[in-house]
Amino acid sequence: MKLPDEIKRNPEIDVPVEGIRGWKVGGSDGLVVFFEIQPGTILPEHSHCFQWGIVIDGSIELTIGGKKKVYNKGDSYIMLEGAPHSARIPDGCLAMDYFSDPKRY
């Protein structure tokens, strides 16, 4: 699973988790990041600004506020500001996420 080269012409973000790469498109009011996540990646619990995302391909198991759910291609998810969340990506995933803080990455 790979994003198109056109997306990868945007600035790449620094993600401190092995197996996750992302490219950002930003404005003054928010930030959109296109993620490529490798199979077997674990994202430890954390929290931050409001986040809305959609699975472009593959799947992601998210635990948001203690509730675990698997999101597949076409599914969207919301993390309210400050909501603790973590993720497990068993088979790889492409996702597009919006962050309300334009300086998130």
pLDDT, residue 46, reads 95
State the Cα–Cα distance between residues 36 and 50, nearest whole angstrom.
20
Domains and CATH numbers, the chain: 12-99 (2.60.120.10)
Region 86-95: mean pLDDT is 96
pLDDT value of residue 27: 84
User: What was the pLDDT predicted at 22?
Assistant: 97
Given pLDDT bands bounded at 50, 70 and 90, which one contains residue 96? very high
Mean pLDDT of the chain: 96
Q: Which residue from 76, 70, 72, 73 is spatially nearest to 88, judged by alpha carbons?
A: 70
Q: Which residues of 54-73 are buried (b: 16+ CB within 10 A; e: fewer)?
A: ebbebbbebebeeeeeebee
Classify residue 89 by burial, with Cβ atoms within 10 Å: 0-12, 13-18, 19+. Answer: buried
Residue 1: per-residue pLDDT: 80
